Every structure is written in C-alpha cells, then in structure tokens.
Structure 1
Amino acid sequence: MQSLSSRTAAFTDSVIRRMTRICLQCGAVNLSQGFPDFDPPQEILDRLAEVAKEGPHQYSVTWGAQNFREALADKQTHFMGRTIDPNSEIVTTCGSTEAMMAAVMTVTDPGDKIVVFSPFYENYGADAILSGAEPIYVPLHPPAFSFDPEELEDAFRQHPKALILCNPSNPCGKVFTRDELLTIAALAEKYDVYVITDEVYEHLVYAPHRHTYFATLPGMWERTLSCSSLSKTYSITGWRLGYIIAPAPIIERAKKVHDFLTVGAAAPLQEAVIPGLRFGDEYYQGLLATYTEKRKLMLDGLTALGIPHNEPEGAYYILLDISRYGWDDDYQFCEQLAQRVGVGAVPGSSFFKEPENRYIRLHFAKKNETLTAALDRLASMDAKMKR
C-alpha cells in the first residue's frame, strides 16, 4: 500500500489531552487540560433548556446564525472600541481551534512561512504544517517572557506571510505591552505580514496589566485576523463556539475555508449562548475578580510550599520550575506526578521549540476547593518527586 501523509507523520496526539486521560486513570486532580469544574452562567443554562425544546436543531447559516453574529458584534464592538459589521466582518467557527486553522489557511499558501512565538499553544505548529506553511519560531525569554526585537526582525527578514500572536499567552500567561505590540505592528507593516491573533483569554488580564486588541492599533485592522472563542469567557469549553473577526475581504475568503472545514458551528448552542453575549460589564468584572482570587490562592499556596513558579499576567496558567527535582524528562515527571502526588500537569517541553525541560504547566480554572485539594497534594512533591 502507498504510504500515509508525510506531513502528519511526526504528529503525536495532544499532550494536554493525553494528560487528562492519565488523570482519569489514576484519580489525580486535573490541572492539566484547561477547563472548569463549575457550571456556566445560569442564564445560558436556562436558555439551553428552552432551546432543547424549541430549536433550532438544523443547520444555521454556515458562517453563523444572524442573531448570534449580531450579539457577538455588539459585544466585541463594545470591548474593541471599533464598530464590527456582523454580516461582513465575522465568521463563526467550531471553537477557536478551527478559527486559527481557518485563519492560517485563509492567508497562507504551501511553502509560505509563518512566525510563531515560543512557548506556544501546541496547535500552532500543527496549523502551519497542515496548511503547508513553515513555522519560524521566535523565543520569548523567561522569566518575563519578552521577545528580543532584533530576533523578531530576523524572523521577519525571512519574508513570512503571517505571524501568530497569542495574547494573553498560553502557556506562560504573558500579556504583551502596548509598546511590544507596536513593535510587532511596525514590523508587520514594514514587511507586509498578516497577524493572526488568539485572544481567547481577552477578559482574564490581571491588574495592573491591560489587554490591547492588536486589530485596534494604528494601521493594523487591514492586516489582522482576530480569533477567539466563548469557551473560557462563559465556561463552556465543550460547546466549541469560536469566531474570526477581520476586514470584509478577508472574512469573505475565511467563510469559504470554514464552510469546507466544518460547514457550521452547532445551531442550538449559538442560540443558547446569546444571553451571555448580552451581559453587561459587571459580568466581565466579576469573572476577572473570580479568577484573580483563584490566581492568588494558587500563587500564595505554591510560594508557601517553596515551589518555584512564574506569576501569570493573564489567562489561567502557571509554569512551575522543576529543575531541582533532578528529572531529565518532563513528560515522565508529569506522569509520575499524577501517579505519586495525585496532581495532573502538562510537560512544558510540549510548548517550546527550544530544548526546554524545566517547566510544567498547571491551570487554576477550578473551584477553590479543587485548587486547595491540589495544593494539599503538592505539599508532598519534594518527598515523592526528588531523585
């Protein structure tokens, strides 16, 4: 028989989701895959119950139901400070995962290059490869996870077609400053490069840091594809509702890519989430307050245990430095952490292009009692994990 696809030969399954399966097998507290163990807002659940009885249950318009796009456009117009046209500047996708894939396929051809900051969410490299593009990795240097402008321009000098920007960043929680974003913007304009943003954590930015939508920077609307989802904002990671916002000519092409990838996002769920899209500012303020409390609980707990860690500026992930434990394989460390200590984490090497083995990633999108239970178990980390 002929060989299978060469472009997918090096793929593994998702390390993040593999760690969830390991947690299930050994009863570990799952702080690996970033989903909550608490319910979405009641208003959304109530509307879901109504939709189950009354519909819609058939296809919506492939690029998103009209009322969903209108509600989403109103919300993002409010937060981005720029009027978004629901009919020509939005395409609804099956989660931000599909949004990113569709965005990359919309702007790149096989053989094009695409800039990716490292560390990065594991899908980005795969998105580039599946599109036939070549990723160019630019390091974010710890502990602040800032980039070197000269290293970034070296990547731009290779004439990429696009750059992927995750802000706030998964896995390190970096929030790019306005000055850093302006540096990227100047290079994007100088070298005529598209910017594809992943902004799923746009509402989880901790004081004194602030989120800046890249598309709102001077001259950047025309070359930016803003990707996001409702998963983290409304605690509905299983609903798979995402979107791309971009200028009309880009969205017109993205609609066609999306249509042939997935046809459309789930019509009943688009209808059910509309009450959430209509929430006022107090919802987002409350969401941030909730996660600020969880962040403090985890950071204070890890500090009290003497476990080295970074301090995320946004999102809900923390990187732990496991250098002192003496392991040369962070994946094996995470397997054994789940089995010996009873806490699930993700090996940091799955996020870095560089040969990095000193980090593991935890998340804190859990009930406070779940986080406290995890910290109680992590108290035995030194005794059970040192070599």
Structure 2
Amino acid sequence: MIEEKDISLERAVLIGVITKDQNEEKSREYLDELEFLTYTAGGYAIKRFTQKMDMPNPKTFIGTGKMEDVRQFIEDNDISTAIFDDELSSAQERNISKILNVKVLDRTNLILDIFAQRAQTSYARTQVELAQCEYLLPRLRGMWTHLERQKGGIGMRGPGETEIETDRRIVRDKIALLKARIKTIDKQMAIQRGNRGKMVRVALVGYTNVGKSTLMNVVSKSDVFAENKLFATLDTTVRKVVIQNLPFLLSDTVGFIRKLPTQLVDSFKSTLDEVREADLLLHVVDISHPNFEEHIASVEKILGEIKSGDKPTIMVFNKIDAYTAEPLEEDDLETERTAKHYSLEEWKSTWMSKVGNNALFISALNKKNLEDFKKRVYDEVRDIHVTRFPYNEFLYPDYNYEDME
C-alpha cells in the first residue's frame, strides 16, 4: 500500500467491479495498479469500493446501493475525486457526477493526465493534447458544468483547462490542427531516422516501470530520467552505443500498460515508430512483479497491434535482486503449489524452455549478470550487421567481455 506522506495529495476513492470476465483477484490487481496510477498523478487512494455484477450498470457503472455508500463515504471523509477502473461513457460520467458532486475520472482520463504531466518536448505535448481532445470530444455535453465546479488537479491538466468554453466544432478544429502539426513533425522525425544511416537499431520495450530507463543508463552510460513511478519515460530517447568497435542505436520507449487508452496508441504512433523500425527488441520484464506474465501478454498484444510482434526479441527479466517466491511449507498438504511459489531457477528453466537463449535474467540496478546481457546483445547485433554487410565481418573481432564495467 502507498502511504500518504503529503497533505497536498488529492484524496480519492477507487471504484471497480467484479464480473464473470474479471474475477475478484483480477479486480484487486487492477485496483492495485489504479492506486499506483493515482499516486503517480498526485493523488492518494483513501478507500476502494468493488461490487459483484454481471456487467457494469449502463447508467452509473455500479448499482444504486453501492453508489449511495460511495456518496456517503465521500461526504463524510472530505474526498475530492472518484476514480473508476474502467472507461466511463459520457452518460455514466454525467450521471455519476450529479450523484457524487465531486470530480469523476476513469482510468483513461487518469492515464491521459499522467501523460500531460510527463510530456517534456513540444512533440509529446502535442500528442498528449490530441489524445485528450479526442477523449474529450464525445464528453463535451456533460463535462462543462462538472469542470466549472472542479478546477485544477488530477485530470484537469492540458486542454481540459483551456477548452471549457468551447463547443464541438472548435474541438474538432483543434484536433485537425494538432493532427496536421503531428504530421509535419512526423516527416521531420522520419528524416532524422533516415539520417542515422545503416546502423542496427535496438529498442527497449516493456510494461511501464520495469526498469527500461535504468537499463538504458547502464548500457549507454547516459543519464535518462528514471523514477519509481508509472510512465517516468514518455519521450523516446535514442543513444549510440558501442561495444568493442561495433556501434548500434539503442532507444528507450514509452512503457505499456493494461487497458492502454486507444487515443494514446493512435496519437503516439510516431513514438512507436522507433519500435516498428527496430531490428531487435529487448522486451524488459519486472520479474519481481507478481503479475509479470500478464504484463508480458499485454506488451505482446500491443506489439501485435503495431505490427511488431514478429521482430527478433530477447526477453530480459529484470529486478532479479527484488524477486522473492511465496513460501510454501513442506508439510503444507492443502495449498496447491503454483507459479507464485517458483524459485528464480525454476522461472529460468521455464522461460529457457520457451525461448531458449533468448531469455536473460539481470538486475540493471545492481548490474548483476550485465556481462551476459551485453554479450548476448552484442552477438545478436553483430549477426544482424554481418547479414546486412557480409563483407565487413572481419571488422568485428571477438570481444573480451570481462574487461567491461
């Protein structure tokens, strides 16, 4: 659980549902992630509410009785924000706002807000603004009175603050303007990628907060921003890396997440072009996370959506220093032994049997097993380079990895 240390954090309640497609355990996992998202955005989750339902209520997402419980808790505990774990329709958001009389956000809105905070370059800010406008457009009717009542804070950054008095026509015009601006920058970035010559391109991909930026810093000896928060990296960073006398380009890309808003995938198309154009993907996984296999599946799903699922990929299981298996007593005959009880060696055996030598186990923070990592990446990059330029193979003699830091 995240502790409330700063009185300036917005007090929020989290609301999710338990359905036939999302059982109680899954719902708890999603709410854990939603709590981390809330903390990253600048809020603190005071309480969680869940309800078992066949499907979310089309009018208020949860039932009237549970909604009254939420309303009463909000009133009694000075809560300013209610955050729902799934995307709300404009009608749901409007109805809920009338009942709770506080700021109402859904997971998509929350993620968009974090992106608005994290965007550093004008290009990233333009992409975020486009995604926010596209999210806002179908919700204009119900949002004006809501936003006039609740100014500032989580979910209110970016166009949410500047477009309150606009109508759909103005927002559509702005969307068209932003798309045109992005198209112009896209051409410039395509030229930049073309100017990088024939160097092999390697891209770090993975779920958010798995240590991609830390690994980037270690390998490239650069200073990419890294923080234990979701979406610490938003702008793609590209560095030239040289192992022995073999240069290649290494890019650190935005992290993925479950239920990633469609608007972000669309507006960040060019950021994801670094992945599309990569010769090799390093899929970084936080093996210390209890749901890392689901994270892998989520990343692979998005890679498939951007037509990059068939690229050569090395699975890099990071944070082995933080991995702990759930203990199981030898005389415990009732508890079934599952993957959560696996030792690190068992996970290595499992994934080695799946992908062979394309699985590596490291700690980027403690620089553990980095020699094996660098050797494996070097071998792969060298093979790609030799295939592309077969007459230059003699330029790349064997490298003494023991001399590496």
TM-score (ref. length: structure 2)? 0.28
TM-score (ref. length: structure 1)? 0.29
Higher share in helix: 2
The one of the two structures with greater contact order (alpha-carbon pairs below 8 A, sep at least 6) is: 1
Larger Rg: 2
